[in-house]
Structure 1
Amino acid sequence: MYRSVGLALLVLAGIINSASACSCVPRPEKYLFCKNDFAVAFQVKDSGTVEGEFNVYQVDLLHMYRTVPFENLDTDRIMTAGDNLPCGVAFIPNAFYVISGNYNVTSGQPTRMQAHFCELLLIFPNDPRLTYTPPECDTPGSQNGYSGG
């Protein structure tokens, strides 16, 4: 009996440690929307693939609300930390999202959008372009006018 209690405590400690590995400071939506490299609306097309330490999802980019300047952007994929790293996002196939995040620039590869659990992460039952009103940003961040779909 003591052995099973000890094992249960070890498992519980592992769960608590994993859950606390990603801690986020609560921030208003406007801050999360405006402070990052980009804010976009998209629909997830698959359940993701593993590429090194990252999970990469095929997406249909519906609208880019804001962005900082970038080169060679891959608008068909969004990457996030993989299962072995904290703060990754598990996107649901066919779901619609509005997120903010940062660009991942790797030499010799297209620039990729990277999602993080602590940034803006909104899920919608339908196309968010129909209902989502983005906040006004006081900080610089050009609007590139991309509106896919």
Structure 2
Amino acid sequence: MATLLPTVPYWVFCVSEPVSLVAGFAIAIFQPEQFVALQLPNTESTGLSPSGKLIAWQTGNLFGIMAMMGIAILFATTEAAVVKRYLIALLLGDIGHLTAVWWVMGSDGFFSAHRWNGFTWGNVGITFFLALVRIGTLVGLFGEIKPQPSTVGKVKRK
């Protein structure tokens, strides 16, 4: 089944975001030391405690779940309200994520993109981009989230 999203949000939420989540999953699971060390610019890997490794693996697991949920929801639903609520939930998550990174980095680091590493671009830049596209999608900037007729309870006649 096709998604209800217009073209730009389709490519962002149905293609790019799941791919980036799977990449985050892989790094967190297979390279947890690097995953943790690179969360902030200019941080060196010093090895992880068992708790640190567990947190990296749990984060990776969440990335995998988010990728699967996004694909399942965006390709299975025929209701625009479900897509909108999903985007609102993720937007709230984006706001919480950005707030947490800002809190830890401080304003100086958070607003100094020229000092960011690749992971910081993911934590701040890409998350901010996704939030903007979510807002744009919700307000109709890219076109309407088109509801499709439901097939639930309908009998096919021959």
Q: Same fold (TM over 0.5)?
A: no
Greater per-residue strand proportion: 1
Greater per-residue helix proportion: 2
* TM-score, length basis structure 1: 0.27
Query: Which fold has the larger relative contact order, with Cα–Cα distance below 8 Å and residues 6 or more apart in sequence?
Result: 2
